[in-house]
Chains A and B, each alone.
Chain A
Amino acid sequence: MFKNYLKMAWRNIRKQKFYSFINILGLTTGMTCCFLIFMYVRFELSYDSFHERKQQIYRLTTDVETPTEKIEAAITSMPMGPALKQDFPEVKEAVRINLSNMLVLVGNNKYQEDEVAVADSNFFHVFTFPLVSGNEHTVLSEPFSVVLSESAARKYFGTANAIGRSIQIGGREHTVKVTGVMKDVPENSQLAFNMVFSLATYKALGETFENWGSFGVVTYLLLESNVDPYKLEQKFPPFLEHHVGMMMKESKMRYTLHLENISDVYLHSKREGSQVLKGSMPNVYIFSFVAVFILLIAIINFVNLATARATERAREVGVRKSVGAYESQLTFQFLSETLMLSLFAFVLSVTCCQLLLPAFNLLTGKEIANNIFQTGTVGIFILMAIAIGLLAGVYPAIVLASYKPVVVLKGAFSSSHKGLLLRRGLVVFQFVITIVLVAGVIIVYNQLLYMQSRDLGFKKDQQLVVEFSGIDPIKDKWKEIKQQVSSIQGVKGCAFSSAIPSKSHSSAYSNMELKSGDMQASNLNLYFVDYDFLQLYDIQLVAGRGFSEAMGTDSTQAMVVNEATVASLGYSKPEEIIGRKYSQWGSEGKVIGVIKDFNYHSLRDKVEPLTMRVAPAGFMPMTITVNPANIKKTLAAVEAIYNRYAPDGRFNYFFVDDSFDKQYRGEYRFGRLVLTFTILAIFLATLGLLGLISFIVIQRTKEIGIRKVLGASVGSILFLLSGDFLKLVLIALLVATPLAWYLMYQWLSDFAYRIDIQWWVFVLAGGIAVILSLATVYVQTIKTALTSPVKSLRTE
């Protein structure tokens, strides 16, 4: 019996080539999108799931409250972790990790490493990063020891067996011994690193580990099993009171400690400031929705075509019933046909997925998978394909199987009005999805364009940045270097600083004078700059003056702040802060100027308070305004100067505008993904429309013939057939507009600086839907409309 069904199904597929093609293409496209997105979502959700003790590992985070603001930081200070371990039996281990970058020297080769971790000796004991060689308890015990990943070891020494070999850091000052080799860190780890240095190395280099107020490390706690983290959190305030009560009172800063399970950090933590990777839960949701929508479009196509074509199968139903088929048997027969189609589409989809994986990895910017058969998801995909087949097939199957044989066999059969209404409803639904996606894409790209073109409050074009790292001591040599760089032809100006807009910067524990004369402690962002920095970047002053070499005290006792700082300290006018006292990192003096807020971070974030001081000891990057004409020559000249001062350093440069744009990589990637899937959704919806219209045209061939005999023009016939669909598009536009507006408003609210949603976006999205449906109607109808009516009427 089943064989008979399959035979029927196969012959039907072959006989109705056009419909089968549309159905299989539609289902394949839908499934492929769905499978790819499923893998992406699964990957995003899988972060840090490989840690064996993930249920017991918690990230320690700190809220810092000052009288004016509250900072929710993801980082802690050095002594917190060990003190917690000492005071609470619930805390089994505390691991401190610092993620940074480093220049590594191996023999005569230099490697700039951007993913370097420095961690406590229990690191490998707490986390599950398997060691290939070395003892997990001792590899990081000694100062100047490092554990390399297998690929790093191979890169440095040509073999993974690198134990006992050594590398050099800090110029050539320190030799570090390789004490272990670990497996490469999995892609789905929030901690991304190629090597781990022992924290004892920092200690040996003279860093203090005792300052409770200096935040800089990520701390993870391994709790005893069965410890309730919320109960433990309750005990933290007295703990802090005991250790830093006096300090908190004096500085007017209040700390509170919190715990976040390691599984929640990647997608659910809102805390900033640590360098662990962060995902986006909204994106996970958005893509899940997109996947479901695309699949729905494909399923709707199927249902629409199947029910529209039901008349063609109706006679078969009648015959089968008259020779003794149960309704359930017929339902099963039609379902099995759909299942066959969907399994066919499944095989094609898996093949497509496999072929598209490299491109998809590129699109998402992640190595999600290399081989779909190794992900263990193919089994899930088969189940999904079956579910899709059932979902798409069940309604048409029930409708078909319920036909009354007598009605059907008499030939007095026409599709019911109810079916028509359903089909129209489904078409509207498809248009709604399409319009929402199109409007979404337009808005995302508008926002991206806006972020690229918005005036950031400083000059970012033709600003070359060269990292003058490894020059010791920079504070004695910077003037000399500056002079040499300035004299290069093609250099319009240059300035040293400690940080560059778009890049990270330090923040300092500072005391600022309030209007009342009291001193307010807070953590303020800090740029060390030279006298030319403000001018070079064209940053506007709104009050006071900028730094000047002529004023001898500017290098030790002057500070410039931005408008945000002024506001955060409660001053109503920038002029009021001029002359007020500050103390910051051992330097005391007065505020001499206020600069206009400029976006030194992504436009996602509001401009935060920023302070600037002249302190050559902190200089590293040099910004050089270059003439775009002969950049290559200029670069070579700067490199020559750098190499003279830092023979062991590595020449690194970038342009500020590039670096600023790079911050939006995630947004661009998001935009590209949404664009890709939107195009696919449009494609699918059009495909469905094509099938539906071709069917309607066949049904109405006679009507069209009669109308033509009565004198209708080709144009009026096109208008007649498209009118139906235009109405549906308009209804869809009405539904889609508020929906898209709401969704995109949510998305935009993540950006501190954002566009307003314009009405024309929806008109454009609706227009695209109208044009697509008109074009589809036109293509399908024109042939029939042009055919001589004699022909179509004779065949009736």
Chain B
Amino acid sequence: MIQLRHISKYYPVGFGKNEILKDIDLRIFEGEFVSIMGPSGSGKSTLLHIMGLLEEPSQGEYLFEGESVHKMNEKKRTQLHRGAIGFVFQAYHLIDELTVYENIETPLLYKNVPSAERKSRVADILDRFNIVAKKDLFPNQLSGGQQQLVGIARALVGQPKVILADEPTGNLHSDQAKEIMELFKQLNEKDKITIVQVTHSEINATYGHRIIQIRDGKIA
């Protein structure tokens, strides 16, 4: 499903360059649950961003479902973004000015989903995550675990094929973390959603089928 070929990423620094990723080859299959691990600054988040089209690689080729991403135009890429990829962040990144309901609804607005369908899809998700009672609250009225739950709900509502999670439990205590990981597992098994997560935690990493270690920009 995701295929990275000879991917490199570097930033110019002075006259030289700071290489973050060096010649990464990676293949992730549909239905997989992959954990990416590595020390701080090893380049794992950058790798995830490249997979999620938030960043472009400096070199190499990225195929999403067999299609070369860098040959796509901006519009096609955004389509892909909207339709196939869901993001979950460590800091949740909910929009403070929107309620739980509205936060979840936002991706559907950008996808131009008709109003009735929007309502039913958001209601389904709220129901499934047991947060119906919280739908009119604002993010700062929720606990961290609840916020991340909303973050995942927002990623899911667009019915993506893959969820990219960047340290999804980094800001949570262990009970909440477990809950979230169980949820990921369930999504992967029941809904057949491909999941790629970046994590520091050995325990969380074991939820995945496969662990990829990154060190100094290379797959170890």
Chain A residue nearest to B81 in the complex (CB)? A324
Identify which of A4, A15, A322 contacts B87 (C-beta below 8 A): A322
Binary contact track A350-376/B, C-beta < 8 Å → 1, others 0: 000000000000000000000000000
Take A1-B109, A324-B158 as given contacts and tell me if A315 and B93 are in contact as well, using a CB distance cutoff of 8 Å.
yes
What residue of chain B has the Cβ atom nearest to residue A324's Cβ? B82
Q: A323 is contacted by which of B45, B49, B106, B112 (Cβ under 8 Å)? A: B106
Q: Does A316 contact B (CB under 8 A)?
A: yes
Query: Within the assembled complex, what's the spacing in Å between the Cα atoms of A321 and B154?
Result: 13
Contact between A323 and B87, CB atoms less than 8 A apart: yes
A325 in the interface (beta carbon within 8 A): yes
Q: Does B55 contact A (CB under 8 A)?
A: yes
Nearest-neighbour CB distance to chain A for B202, whole angstroms, equals: 24
Across-interface contacts of A110 in B (CB, < 8 A): none
Q: Which A residue sits closest to B75, measured CB to CB?
A: A326
Chain A residues in 8 Å Cβ range of B158: 323-324
B117 within 8 A of A: no
| Interchain CB contact under 8 A, A322 and B110 | no
CA distance A319 to B95 in the complex (A): 7
Q: Which residue of A lies closest to B138 (CB)?
A: A11
Q: Is A329 an interface residue (CB 8 A)?
A: yes
CB neighbors of A among B82-109 (8 A): 82, 87, 89, 91, 93-98, 102, 105-107, 109
Contacting residues of chain B (33-61) with chain A, CB-CB under 8 angstroms: 45, 49, 52, 54-55
Give Cα A329–Cα B91 distance, bound, in whole angstroms.
24
Check B110–A324 contact: CB distance below 8 A. Answer: yes
The answer for the CA separation of A324 and B53 in the assembled complex, in Å, is 11
Q: Choose among B49, B96, B106 the residue that contacts A320 (Cβ–Cβ < 8 A).
A: B106
Question: A15–B96 Cα gap in the complex (Å)?
Answer: 10
Contacting residue for B54 out of A1, A316, A329, A405, CB 8 A: A405
Query: Contact check: which of B91, B97, B111 meets A15 at CB < 8 Å?
Result: B97
Candidates B52, B94, B106, B112; contact of A4 at CB < 8 Å: B106
Chain B residues whose CB sits within 8 angstroms of the CB of A405 once the complex forms = 54
Give min CB distance, B91 to chain A, whole Å.
8
Number of A residues near B (Cβ < 8 Å) is 24
- Decide if B110 touches A325 in the complex (CB within 8 Å): yes
In the complex, what's the smallest C-beta–C-beta distance from B171 to chain A, in angstroms? 13
Chain B hits for A322, CB < 8 A: 52, 54, 81, 87, 89, 93
Residues of B within 8 A of A7 (CB): 98, 102
Count of chain A to chain B residue pairs whose CB atoms are closer than 8 Å in the complex: 62
- Taking a contact as CB atoms under 8 Å apart, the answer to whether B97 and A329 are in contact is no
A246 interfacial contact with B, CB 8 Å: no
Identify the interface centre among A4, A319, A326, A409: most chain B CB within 10 Å of its CB.
A319
Q: Distance in Å from the Cβ of A449 to the closest Cβ of chain B? A: 55
**Chain B residue with Cβ nearest A5:** B109
Closest residue of chain B to A323, judged by CB? B107
- Check: B141 CB closer than 8 A to any chain A CB: no
Which residues of chain B come closer than 8 Å to A320, judged between CB atoms? 95, 106, 110
Chain A residues with CB under 8 A of B107: 323-324
User: How does the 8 Å CB contact mask read for A1-23 relative to B, with 1 for contact and 0 for none?
Assistant: 10010011001100100000000
Contact with B along A233-257 (1 / 0, CB 8 A): 0000000000000000000000000
Task: Tell whether A406 is near chain B: CB-to-CB under 8 Å.
Answer: yes
Whether B78 contacts A324 by the Cβ 8 Å rule is yes
Question: Quick one: which of A300-350 are within 8 Å of B by CB?
Answer: 315-316, 318-326, 329
- From residue A271, how far is it (CB to closest CB) to chain B in Å? 64
Known: A323-B87, A324-B110, A405-B54. A316 touches B95 (CB 8 A): yes
The answer for the CA separation of A325 and B74 in the assembled complex, in Å, is: 11
Q: Which residues of A contact B91 (CB under 8 A)?
A: 409, 411
Tell me how far the C-beta of A317 lies from the nearest C-beta in chain B, rounded to whole angstroms: 10
By a CB distance below 8 angstroms, the chain A residues around B106 are 4, 320, 323
Tell me the smallest distance from the CB of B149 to a CB of chain A, in Å.
Answer: 16
* B110 surroundings in chain A (CB, below 8 A): 320, 323-326, 329
Q: Are A326 and B78 in contact (CB under 8 A)?
A: yes
Which residues of B are found within 8 Å of A15, using beta-carbon distances? Answer: 97
Q: Which residues on the A side are within 8 Å of B45 (C-beta)?
A: 410
Across the interface, A11 reaches (CB within 8 A) one of B82, B97, B105, namely B97
The list of the 4 closest CB pairs from A to B, nearest first, reads A324-B82, A323-B107, A11-B97, A324-B110
- Give 13 CB contacts A-B under 8 Å: A1-B109, A8-B97, A15-B97, A318-B93, A320-B110, A322-B52, A322-B54, A323-B82, A324-B158, A325-B110, A406-B49, A406-B54, A409-B54
